Structure formats: structure tokens, C-alpha cells
């Protein structure tokens, strides 16, 4: 065929071949331009009915004039050959473009750009009553200038065209076909919307949503199975984009977007910003500095110094630093350097000692290669308490130099900054932090006195106001004094901080925590601002994982969870946080793995015990869940978490009176302030078939921000008794509006 001239077209080379024909590059000798020629397969060219259908639909496709649709120039016939003459596009198939990224993925902004162009082309076709019926990544070309062009309308269906012999046959490419197309039903634009969703899934993940070893297996998957979560293949896809793809891949056509215009509107509103953390090539853990002071009470100072060096290093973008909470769990460890490095997946370890005697100070520090156990750098620093800031900065800069890290100008400023300029005030601050960590009524009272003493010396100070505010928040959050006044005081201190420094990470973090407890959605925005300034703060990461999960932003939650476990792998509570996104997407066995890690670390912690119990229940492992409660010390529990567990246990076993004995006014008041606890009460009352109570608590959870509509509607097995109830259906209709607003959907 190469070199042959047909009519006024000279065949130059073969471009490709598919079920609907062979495509060649040719030269139009009359108009002196390159064109693509597609020869129809014999079963179409030689069949009168098929050919008639094709000509009707090809003529309609030829009438399309859109920058994102490859132009059809002519339909020609020579001897027994029938062929289409099309615009020749110098570029590459979208499928090939995706494959060039190998282990990475097409950037989100490029994905959005191409998706909008493809959608605009399809919208133009649909407005003329043309359904493509074979949208796939190999039928979309990307020009050298980055313009998407939809190719091959050879299977197009025109609205109102006569039903010809091929009607009812399965036409198209199996992996991209909609369920109704597979069933051989008459298709409309909904099938193109489905195929568009398959293409989006593919270019975002590098995978097809429905796969199998043979065509029947793929067909079964399309008709009966849900595609794997895109987050299993890629972190950080915006939740709005995840939701958009999910909506295009609904099995029932009327559950998808109603038309391309609606889909296109959502595409254009999509944020391209994703939660993505810079990849740090170098990593370190700072082991707790050993206190070798004559006075053992100076332990607080060595711990405080350790934490401040960690805080300094965490501000360096090119360095991944294990967080304070994980590092402090290694205090007194007998593990060798290589074991620590291997378990924490870090390249370097900093260890040192502190000797504080009166006002005199001596600090030693040494940087070690965790893989070879070789010392890279070691130094001793002597001075007085007033020199502590300079010593901290010198240690941090020495590490930077030893690891050959180039600091940005802003990072230089951060390392040089002394948050509390007075050494005595700094000393009180260190003491107060130790008291805060104990989280008892007495320790928090001591912490307030120490912070106040520090404020009396240093005056108005952001770090001290933040510590004072955090203490008040801890009173409320830990249930020590559930008094609204503590939240008000914490909120006032946050406002003071932001008045002193409008972009303070401490102010935004504190204000975020306060507003979240008040049920104010703005709290999320404050925490997000805090995370932008300090992406290595475990507390902010943990809170946002839970909040995003409750909202339905599961991909964002997974991205934060991955970051959290990377920088803070030894803190058990973090595994409770990472269980959340798995739980709300119905992956209860994955959630169970995470809660089990937390429980095994601290099995006497009632909160950890309850979370593990709840994960077992959601996974329908009731016997294992009930065994957790069979401990002598759990009899007649007064602890809220154990009461909650027993309430659920007796609800599951239909022992109504035993379940309700735990629902005291105090119990209800505690649950009422928390969306998670409220949703769990809804589960219990649903199991007891007390629908009005269940709906009351479910609505309270929703009003407090737990608006993950799919979790309540589909995934949570404990709410099954409610799903046919008219009030539940109405509540779900209402919450869906809130959920879609947050997710950025129509």
C-alpha cells in the first residue's frame, strides 16, 4: 500500500490499525497537504446496511467544526475501497503521553487542561446530536502545542438516524464501554460521559478502572464491580476531582452527570492545587539529649533543647525530620544507631548531651550516618544560659553544613529567629511544656503559672501566648474542665497572637482547634493555613486527616496520613488518625490494621481500646471485639470510651436495657459536642431500632461537620436499619447538598 496513489491521495506510511480500519498518512496531491486516511474494514465497506449507517453518521461528524475535534475532510470511494480523509495531526496519542511518565503521573494541571479540551469537543458533538461511542485515550491526540483533538468518529451515533442492521451490536472498545453499551442497549451521551471518566481515571493513575485477563472478565467488572480507589495508585489527587471521576463512572446513567455542560462546569471550577509535600532527599532523627547535669531535675531543659533543635530543623524544606513526639519516645533507648535509622527510615541521627549547672551550660552534639554508624561531625559548646539561643542555632547550621544543604533566604531568617528573647523566660517555658505533656488538672495548673511567670519577664510573646492558649484548649479537649470559658480564653489568645503577627502559624493553629470544637467550618481554613506554614506539625496533620475524612476529602486525608507516618511513626495516636480515611471509604479491614497498631502500643489506653473495638465492629468481627471488653477492670466502667464500647456491644446483641443504662446525661453531653461520638450513638440506636434517637444523633453529627454522605448512605453497616426510613432518606438528601458543596460538585 505504501507509495500507492488512490484518487489524488499518495499513501506515505502506515499510522495504525484497529477494529474499525487501517489508518495511513497520505499526501493530498491537489491541495498539497498531509492528511490521514482511514480505510474501512471489509465488513463495513461490503455491507450495504453497515455502509449506509456509516455514511449517515460520518457526514454528521464531518459537519463538526471545533478546535478539539479532528476535522473530517471527505468520504471517498475507489474500486472496492471506502475511506475517510481526515485532518492529519502531528503529535502523540494521549495513551502514549501517559505511558511516558512511567512511575509518575501526568501533572494535575495538565490533566485538567486536556480534560477541559476533550469535554468541550464532546459537548460540541453532543449539541449536534452526535454520540462518539468510542472515546478512549488512543482516540485522543495531543498536538505539539498541547492541544487535545478527539479522533475517529467511525462509531458515532447520530440522534434521529434510522435504526439499521448493526443496532444492538456491541460496538466500541470493551475497557471503555459503559454498562448499558455492553448490554447492547441504545446509548446516548451518558455513554460518552462514562468513557470520558475512564480516560480521566487512566491519565490520573496510569491504570484502567476495570481490568481482567480476558474480555468477559473486564465486562463482568464493568457491570458489577467498583473501580479501585484512585488514591491506591496516586497521592494528592484533589477530592473534587476524585468525586468528579466517581460521578462519571456511576453504573446507572441517570446517576452520572446529566450532560457534558454540567461536567465541564465542574471541571473548570476544579482547583489544581493538591496537598503535596516537597520530597526531601535527606532525613534525620534528633535523639533526646542526655541530661548529665548534677541536678536530675534539669531533665526538662535537655528535653526542651531537643525539641527546639527539632523545631529549627523542621523548618528546612530539603530535610525530612522525625517529629518531636516520635523522637521523645526514643528517650533512654538501648537500640543502636543502625537499628534506629532502619526502623525510622532516616539517613542521619543527631545525639548529644546537656550539662546545666546554675547558669552555666555545656552542650555536646554529634551527627552520625545511620547506615554506616560513622560520625560526620561532632562539637562541644560552652557558655551560660543566655547563650542557649546561639548554641541552638549553631547546632542547626552545623547540621545543614555537614549535610551540604543550601538554605533559602527565608530559612536563614527562621534559624536566626529567637522566639523568646529572654533566657529565664525560655527556661520557664521549657518547664511549662513538660507539665502540659502530663495533661492532668494539676499539671495544667502548674503550666499556666509557669507560662505566666515567663510572660511577666518577656512581655507579650507569640510563643508564650500560644502555649497559654493550648493549655486552655487542653482543659476542654481532654475533658478535664469542659467549660466553654476555656475555649473562649484560648480563642482570645489566638486573636492576640494574630494581632501581633497576622500570619502566625501558632495563631492559626490555635484558632483552628478552637473553632473546630465550636463546630465552625472556618476552623478547617485556619488549620490549613497553619499547615502551609508548618507542614511538619503532627497535631495539625492529625486533625486535618480526621476533618477531611469527615468531609469526604479522602484523597487529601490519605496524603496527609502518609506524611504524618513518615515524620512521626512512633506515636500511637497517629495510627488512629490514619485509620480514618480507610474507615469512611468502607475499607474497614485496612482501618483495622491501623487501629490495631495503636492498641498494641498502648492497650491500657481506653481511647485506643475503643477505636480498635469500633474497627472490629465495623469489620463485623464481633467476637474479637467483645473479647476486648472481657477484662475485670472493665466491669461497671465509668470511663466514657469504655461506656461507649459497652453501649455498642449491647446494642449489637439487642440487649436494649443494658445498652441504655450507659446513656446518662453526662454521657450524652460529652457525645453531643463531638461529631464522631454522635455518629457512634446513631449507630447504637439504629441497631436497637430506635430510629428517632438514631436520626437525632446522626443529624447532630452532620451539623457538627461529619458530612461524609457516602459513608452514611452506603458504607457504614451499623446504619442499615435506617436506610429505608423516609426521614433518613430526607436527611441524606440534605447532607448530600452540603457534601457536594464541599467537594466542589454540582
Phi, psi of 429, deg, nearest 5? -65, -45
Indicate the pairing of strand 33-39 with strand 81-87. antiparallel
Q: Please state, in angstroms and rounded to a whole number, the distance separating the CA atoms of residues 286 and 295.
A: 23
The position carrying cell 455513554 is 191
What lies within 8 Å, CB to CB, of 543 at 6+ separation is: 512, 513, 516, 527
Q: Please state, in angstroms and rounded to a whole number, the distance separating the CA atoms of residues 669 and 310.
A: 39
The position carrying cell 467488572 is 221
Q: Please state, in angstroms and rounded to a whole number, the distance separating the CA atoms of residues 395 and 401.
A: 10
Q: Which residues pair with 381 in a beta bridge?
A: 363
Q: How many CB atoms lie within 10 A of CB 296?
A: 7
3-class DSSP state of 143 = strand
Q: Please state, in angstroms and rounded to a whole number, the distance separating the CA atoms of residues 548 and 742.
A: 10
Question: Is 134 considered catalytic here?
Answer: yes
Residue 737 DSSP code: H
What is the distance in angstroms between the CA of the first residue and the CA of the last residue of the chain?
51
What lies within 8 Å, CB to CB, of 244 at 6+ separation is: 200, 263, 266, 267, 270, 745
Length reported for the chain: 746
Taking alpha carbons only, the member of 190, 168, 202 closest to residue 250 is 190
C-alpha Rg value of the chain to the nearest Å: 32
Angle at 268 between CA 265 and CA 273, to 5 degrees: 140
Angle at 647 between CA 641 and CA 648, to 5 degrees: 95
Catalytic residue among 28, 134, 266, 427: 134
Q: Please state, in angstroms and rounded to a whole number, the distance separating the CA atoms of residues 320 and 567.
A: 7
Q: Are 541 and 531 in contact (CB under 8 A)?
A: yes
Q: Which residues pair with 143 in a beta bridge?
A: 91
Q: In what order do the strands lie in the sheet with 91-93?
A: 91-93, 140-143, 148-150
Q: Please state, in angstroms and rounded to a whole number, the distance separating the CA atoms of residues 508 and 505.
A: 5
**Burial level of 302, CB count in 10 A (0-12/13-18/19+)?**
buried
What lies within 8 Å, CB to CB, of 375 at 6+ separation is: 366, 367, 368, 369
Q: Which residues pair with 131 in a beta bridge?
A: 157
How is residue 194 written as a grid cell? 462514562
CA distances for 286 relative to 301, 313, 738, angstroms: 15, 9, 44
SS3 per-residue string spanning 471-482 = HHHHHHHCCCCC
Q: Are 298 and 338 in contact (CB under 8 A)?
A: no
Helix H or strand E segment including 282: strand 282-286
Q: Which residues pair with 157 in a beta bridge?
A: 131
3-class DSSP state of 83 = strand
How is residue 219 written as a grid cell? 465486562
3-class DSSP state of 268 = helix
Q: Which residues are catalytic?
A: 134
Amino acid at each position: 500500500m505504501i507509495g500507492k496513489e488512490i484518487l489524488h491521495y499518495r499513501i506515505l506510511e502506515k499510522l495504525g490499525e484497529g477494529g474499525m480500519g487501517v489508518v495511513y498518512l497520505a499526501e493530498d496531491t491537489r491541495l498539497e497537504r498531509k492528511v490521514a486516511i482511514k480505510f474501512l474494514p471489509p465488513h463495513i465497506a461490503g455491507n450495504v446496511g453497515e455502509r449506509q449507517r456509516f455514511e449517515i453518521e460520518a457526514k454528521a461528524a464531518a459537519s463538526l467544526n471545533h478546535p478539539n475535534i479532528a476535522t473530517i475532510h471527505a468520504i471517498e470511494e475507489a474500486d472496492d475501497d471506502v475511506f475517510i480523509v481526515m485532518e492529519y495531526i502531528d503529535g502523540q496519542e494521549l495513551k502514549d503521553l501517559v505511558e511516558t511518565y512511567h512511575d509518575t503521573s501526568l501533572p494535575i494541571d495538565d490533566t485538567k487542561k486536556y480534560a477541559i479540551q476533550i469535554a468541550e469537543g464532546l459537548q460540541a458533538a453532543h449539541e449536534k446530536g452526535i454520540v462518539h461511542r468510542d472515546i478512549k485515550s488512543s482516540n485522543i491526540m495531543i498536538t505539539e502545542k498541547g492541544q487535545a483533538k478527539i479522533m475517529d468518529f467511525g462509531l458515532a451515533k447520530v440522534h434521529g438516524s434510522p435504526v439499521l442492521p448493526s443496532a444492538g451490536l456491541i460496538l466500541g472498545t470493551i475497557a471503555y464501554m459503559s454498562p448499558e453499551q455492553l448490554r447492547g442497549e441504545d446509548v446516548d451521551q451518558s455513554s460518552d460521559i462514562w468513557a470520558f471518566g475512564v480516560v480521566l481515571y487512566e491519565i490520573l493513575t496510569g491504570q484502567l478502572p476495570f481490568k481482567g485477563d480476558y474480555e468477559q472478565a473486564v465486562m463482568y467488572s464493568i457491570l458489577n464491580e467498583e473501580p479501585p480507589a484512585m488514591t491506591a495508585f496516586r497521592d494528592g489527587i484533589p477530592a473534587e476531582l476524585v468525586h468528579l471521576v466517581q460521578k462519571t463512572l456511576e453504573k446507572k446513567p441517570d446517576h452520572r452527570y446529566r450532560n457534558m455542560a454540567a461536567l465541564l462546569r465542574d471541571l473548570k471550577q476544579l482547583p489544581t492545587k493538591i496537598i503535596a509535600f516537597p520530597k526531601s532527599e535527606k532525613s534525620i532523627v534528633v535523639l533526646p539529649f542526655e541530661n548529665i547535669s548534677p541536678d536530675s531535675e534539669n531533665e526538662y531543659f535537655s528535653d526542651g533543647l531537643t525539641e527546639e533543635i527539632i523545631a529549627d530543623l523542621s523548618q528546612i524544606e530539603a530535610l525530612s525530620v522525625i517529629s518531636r513526639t516520635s523522637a521523645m519516645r526514643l528517650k533512654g533507648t538501648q537500640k543502636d544507631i543502625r537499628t534506629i535509622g532502619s526502623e525510622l527510615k532516616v539517613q542521619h541521627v543527631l545525639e548529644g548531651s546537656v550539662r546545666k549547672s546554675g547558669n552555666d551550660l555545656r552542650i555536646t552534639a554529634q551527627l552520625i550516618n545511620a547506615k554506616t554508624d560513622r560520625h560526620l561531625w561532632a562539637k562541644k559548646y560552652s557558655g551560660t544560659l543566655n547563650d542557649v539561643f546561639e548554641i541552638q542555632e549553631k547546632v542547626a547550621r552545623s547540621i545543614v553544613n555537614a549535610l551540604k544543604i543550601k538554605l533559602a533566604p527565608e530559612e536563614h531568617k527562621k534559624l536566626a529567629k529567637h522566639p523568646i528573647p529572654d533566657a529565664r523566660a525560655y527556661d520557664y517555658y521549657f518547664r511549662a511544656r513538660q507539665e502540659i505533656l502530663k495533661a492532668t488538672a494539676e499539671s495544667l495548673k502548674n503550666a499556666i503559672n509557669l507560662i505566666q511567670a515567663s510572660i511577666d519577664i518577656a512581655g507579650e510573646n507569640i510563643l508564650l501566648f500560644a502555649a497559654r492558649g493550648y493549655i486552655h484548649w487542653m482543659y476542654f479537649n481532654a475533658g478535664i474542665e469542659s467549660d466553654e470559658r476555656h475555649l473562649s480564653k484560648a480563642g482570645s489568645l489566638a486573636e492576640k497572637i494574630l494581632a501581633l503577627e497576622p500570619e502566625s502559624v501558632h495563631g492559626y493553629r490555635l484558632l483552628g482547634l478552637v473553632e473546630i470544637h465550636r463546630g465552625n467550618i472556618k476552623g478547617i481554613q485556619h488549620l490549613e493555613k497553619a499547615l502551609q506554614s508548618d507542614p511538619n506539625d503532627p497535631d495539625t496533620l492529625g486533625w486535618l486527616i480526621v476533618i477531611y475524612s469527615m468531609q469526604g476529602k479522602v484523597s487529601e486525608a490519605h496524603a496527609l496520613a502518609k506524611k504524618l507516618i513518615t515524620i512521626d511513626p512512633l506515636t500511637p495516636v497517629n495510627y488512629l488518625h490514619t485509620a480514618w480515611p480507610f474507615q469512611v471509604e468502607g475499607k474497614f479491614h485496612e482501618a483495622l490494621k491501623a487501629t490495631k497498631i495503636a492498641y498494641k502500643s498502648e492497650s491500657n489506653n481506653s481511647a485506643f481500646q475503643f477505636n480498635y473495638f469500633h474497627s472490629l465492629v465495623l469489620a463485623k468481627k464481633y467476637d474479637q471485639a467483645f473479647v476486648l471488653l472481657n477484662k475485670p477492670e472493665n466491669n461497671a466502667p465509668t470511663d466514657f470510651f469504655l461506656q461507649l464500647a459497652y453501649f455498642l456491644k449491647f446494642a449489637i446483641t439487642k440487649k436494649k436495657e443494658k445498652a441504655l443504662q450507659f446513656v446518662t446525661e453526662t454521657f450524652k453531653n460529652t457525645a453531643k459536642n463531638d461529631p464522631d461520638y454522635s455518629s457512634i450513638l446513631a449507630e447504637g440506636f439504629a441497631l436497637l431500632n430506635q430510629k428517632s434517637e438514631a436520626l437525632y444523633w446522626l443529624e447532630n453529627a452532620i451539623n457538627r461537620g461529619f458530612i461524609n454522605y457516602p459513608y452514611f448512605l452506603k458504607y457504614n453497616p451499623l446504619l442499615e436499619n435506617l436506610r429505608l426510613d423516609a426521614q433518613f432518606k430526607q436527611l441524606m438528601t440534605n447532607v448530600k447538598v452540603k457534601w457536594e458543596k464541599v467537594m466542589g460538585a454540582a
